[in-house]
Chain A
Amino acid sequence: MQTNQLLAMFSGVLLLLGLLAFFLGRAKAARVRASGTAMYAQPDQYAWFAVVATAGPAITVGAVGAFLMLLLGAEIPTLYLLAGSLVIAAIGLLVGMSQVKPDFHARQAIERVIRWVLVAAAMISIFTTFGILFSIVFEALRFFQMHSFWEFITGTVWSPGDSFLAAAGRGDEGGSTAQFGSVPLFAGTFMITAIAMLVAIPVGLLSAIYMAEFAPSRVRTLAKPTLEVLAGIPTVVYGFFAAITVAPIIVDVAGFFGLDASFNNAVAPGVVMGIMIIPFISSLSDDVISAVPDSMRQGSLALGMTKGETIRDVVIPAALPGIISASLLAVSRALGETMIVVMAAGMRPNLTANPLEDMTTVTVRIVAALTGDLEFESSETLSAFALGLVLFAVTLSLNLVSVLMIRRFREKYRVNNL
């Protein structure tokens, strides 16, 4: 029998047992109560307890068994495992039924179970983080067994071209050996991120200043969600926009000044990424600026400062931790952005300071390494995980610093809505 069918049957039987437990439990509890005995809980609660007693252990056993099979390669026949689980379900049903008696706190028992289920759900987010970490670290380690970490960090040549030959045990036949020096990729990433920030930080921050300090409230309630539309546009759409509309404009403008620009130049994805990031900065900065207590503004205005001076010298410095925090989040966002650069930036690792040339980024190479028809074991594929590891480490630190800064701001001004 197929595993799928087995699973379906298992679920079906378990469901039946569960229903049986519910109705038997309720009937028994109702009977006991009808006999005039005072019970600690409602019949429904006894019924639910019986269901939990039936299904809980059975599912746990099934899950643990499946996990052992997958993780440790233990040879447990699926049929026996599921059959065993069902037997346990049946035992659970009997135990559950026997507990339907007046002095048993069925409600408390259920609530304990519910609590643990909730804890388990909350743990999933932690498992996700660890899942990301372990999956990346594990594969990255395999990469670093093949190529030196030092070369990866400091090398300036990224040419994985022949690595699949090496993986096939024919490394000698390819003319040159593969090289994995990630410096050009990071240089490209930082170049594009820097361009994006040059667009996003001034526009975003100034927009936030206008919305928080100058705009009439009607303009503000309209402008804020409008700006946030920019953040809601899918990145693949921005990528298309950058490649098909912005890049040719950049080439034309550069040509007008007598400069030679590639169609895969770094400016187009950088500018478009900056546009995308504007609302990240403007929204959070607007919240932070609005959270600066009015007494600060009044204190400054009462000294005969103009509104502009008050904003520049008092409000912005007070809001600075929040603004920096927003900018760090934005940087982290830009570093990890994928689709815009995949579609609009180049594929060629290129160590240059000229943003009009084509250059590639970390995320582009990750996508390139994982979408080809390469063997998973090849070092090019694994290099994606090494790059991912660095990306993870950098964005994680940026996020943590950002969270700490916003927390400090919040404590300083005792605002709770940030």
Chain B
Amino acid sequence: MRHSFDDISAQLHKRHRRSSRLKWISMGALGLAGLFLALFFADMLNRGLPAFQQAYVQVEIDYNEDARQMGRAALEPDIAPLVSRSFERLIPGMIRDNSDLLGTTETRWVLTNSEADQYLKGHRNSLSDDEQAAIDERVDNGQVALKFNTTFFTSGDSKMAERAGILSAAVGTVMTLLVTLAIAFPIGVMTAVYLEEFAPDNRLTQIIEININNLAAIPSILFGLLGLAIFINFFGVPRSSPLVGGMTLALMTLPVIIIATRTALRSVPDSIRHAAFGVGCSRWQVVRDHVLPLAMPGIMTGSIIGLAQAMGETAPLIIVGMVAFIPDAGGSFTEAATVLPAQIFTWAGEPEQAFVEKTAGGILVLLAILIFLNATAVVLRKKFERRW
């Protein structure tokens, strides 16, 4: 029994419909994933951008006798509750350092407290009606305004939301990542060179390979347990320090660097190796002088990606104690420190509304750095990409 085109086409209608349905559904799935991404970024921007502005108030400071003891006495009573306590606390010291101030007055822009800041940004706050009226009046007079929040970038953590910044966390991140890179990069590259260029194809090599793939998939929190049990409890590395954090992250970053380096080494064609062997180079000389330089862009790209991954890692660092409250940036590699994601985690746990904004602001900074790092890696790859 043969069929004519018309018979077949009639029967095909339904099947074609089903086929195109698959196309639209799968396209929808991709769109949905994109929508998630867009919503996520929109939400973070919406919550985080206000953190880059902070409310300031112009106050008249009256350096009187009472202010020696209690800074608040120097401020006008109706606005005093709205000024950041961090500023009030400075006043007695200022008088002590410079007794000429006593009896003078001064007009200055100072930080408001976070409640006033939140009110000005239209968020939930605990100000009374009178306080709100006081602010509204000054806004009209140009004595209260939102200005760029330099404090956010120049100070460390604080219990007062208006003074809290990311500097100490940023410094901690840099120090931790320096340790990570110093350990993971050489070991990772050496491992990859061994596996790609030297290792015989035997049982041990296979075990190392499977092991590396496996390491890449072990939950990060387990690396934290390793850091706690071995680095801290066994070797006595100081808890909460960039040293122990960096060492822990180095072990996590190792597989990323190894895998990227192996791919880079593998993409160097054998003809280069054969040419170098042909002029009498030893295996090590071939690797050092010919293969590694050609593979370097790929290795750098992989290392940057690995570093970016380590930079966003939080769970293992919490386990090794890097969630400390660090108001002042900078210290040594063995002193307690915190890192950006851990700072975000700490702020996310604060009950005050103002910290929600700080958290999202910190997230925006972290995401910006990560995007920059990954973009660098992409550019690097594009620039040095070579087809053999």
Binding site for B on A (CB under 8 A): 70, 107-108, 110-111, 114-115, 117-119, 121-126, 128-129, 131-132, 135-136, 138-139, 202-207, 209-211, 213-215, 223, 225-227, 229-230, 232-237, 239-241, 243-245, 275, 278, 282, 304, 306-309, 311-312, 329, 332-333, 335-339, 342-343, 363, 366-367, 370-371, 376, 384-385, 388, 391-392, 395-396, 399-400, 402-403
Chain A residues near B81: list those with CB within 8 A. none
A240 touches B348 (CB 8 A): yes
Binding site for A on B (CB under 8 A): 8, 12, 15-16, 18-23, 25-30, 32-34, 36-37, 40, 43-44, 47, 186-187, 190-191, 193-195, 198-199, 207-208, 210-215, 217-226, 228-230, 233-236, 251, 254-255, 258, 282-284, 308-309, 311-315, 318-319, 321, 323, 341-342, 344-345, 348, 356, 359-360, 363, 366-367, 370, 374, 378
B36 touches A230 (CB 8 A): yes
Chain A residues near B215: list those with CB within 8 A. 125, 128-129
Chain B residues near A363: list those with CB within 8 A. 219, 221, 315
CA of A233 to CA of B43, assembled, Å:
14
B217 touches A366 (CB 8 A): no
Q: Could you jot down 16 A-B contacts, CB within 8 Å? A: A70-B234, A125-B191, A125-B215, A210-B29, A233-B40, A236-B342, A236-B348, A245-B43, A306-B19, A339-B315, A363-B219, A366-B221, A367-B319, A395-B217, A399-B214, A400-B214
Nearest neighbor of B223 in chain A, beta-carbon distance: A132
Chain A residues near B30: list those with CB within 8 A. 206-207, 210-211, 215, 223, 227
A241 touches B230 (CB 8 A): no
Least CB distance from A108 to B in Å reads 8
B217 touches A236 (CB 8 A): no
Chain B residues near A396: list those with CB within 8 A. 214, 218
Checking B40, B211, B258 against A129 with a beta-carbon cut-off of 8 angstroms, the contacting residue is: B211
CA of A202 to CA of B25, assembled, Å:
10
A367 touches B315 (CB 8 A): yes
Checking A135, A311, A332, A337 against B226 with a beta-carbon cut-off of 8 angstroms, the contacting residue is: A135
Given A237-B367, A244-B47, A335-B219, 16 other A-B contacts at CB below 8 A? A111-B283, A118-B193, A121-B187, A131-B251, A132-B226, A135-B230, A139-B229, A214-B23, A236-B348, A237-B312, A241-B40, A307-B19, A308-B21, A338-B219, A396-B214, A399-B214
Chain B residues near A206: list those with CB within 8 A. 25-26, 28-30
Checking A121, A241, A337 against B43 with a beta-carbon cut-off of 8 angstroms, the contacting residue is: A241
Chain A residues near B221: list those with CB within 8 A. 336, 338, 363, 366-367, 388, 391
B230 touches A131 (CB 8 A): yes
CA of A131 to CA of B225, assembled, Å:
10
Checking B223, B225, B341 against A385 with a beta-carbon cut-off of 8 angstroms, the contacting residue is: B225
CA of A125 to CA of B32, assembled, Å:
38
CA of A118 to CA of B359, assembled, Å:
43
B36 touches A275 (CB 8 A): yes
Q: How many A-B contacts if CB must be within 8 Å?
A: 264
Least CB distance from A250 to B in Å reads 14
Least CB distance from B172 to A in Å reads 15
B218 touches A132 (CB 8 A): yes
Nearest neighbor of B38 in chain A, beta-carbon distance: A226
Least CB distance from A183 to B in Å reads 20
CA of A233 to CA of B367, assembled, Å:
7
Chain B residues near A234: list those with CB within 8 A. 311-314, 341, 366, 370
Chain B residues near A240: list those with CB within 8 A. 344, 348, 359-360, 363
Chain A residues near B213: list those with CB within 8 A. 399, 403
CA of A275 to CA of B38, assembled, Å:
12
Nearest neighbor of B187 in chain A, beta-carbon distance: A121
Given contacts A125-B191, A129-B211, A306-B18, contact A236 B25 (CB under 8 A): no
CA of A233 to CA of B368, assembled, Å:
11
Given contacts A226-B37, A243-B348, A308-B21, contact A124 B225 (CB under 8 A): no
Checking A114, A210, A233, A282 against B284 with a beta-carbon cut-off of 8 angstroms, the contacting residue is: A114
A336 touches B220 (CB 8 A): yes
B315 touches A129 (CB 8 A): no
B345 touches A332 (CB 8 A): no
Least CB distance from B316 to A in Å reads 9
Nearest neighbor of B219 in chain A, beta-carbon distance: A336
Least CB distance from A331 to B in Å reads 11
CA of A368 to CA of B29, assembled, Å:
36
B219 touches A118 (CB 8 A): no
A339 touches B314 (CB 8 A): yes
A308 touches B370 (CB 8 A): no
B312 touches A235 (CB 8 A): yes
Checking B23, B40, B191, B374 against A124 with a beta-carbon cut-off of 8 angstroms, the contacting residue is: B191
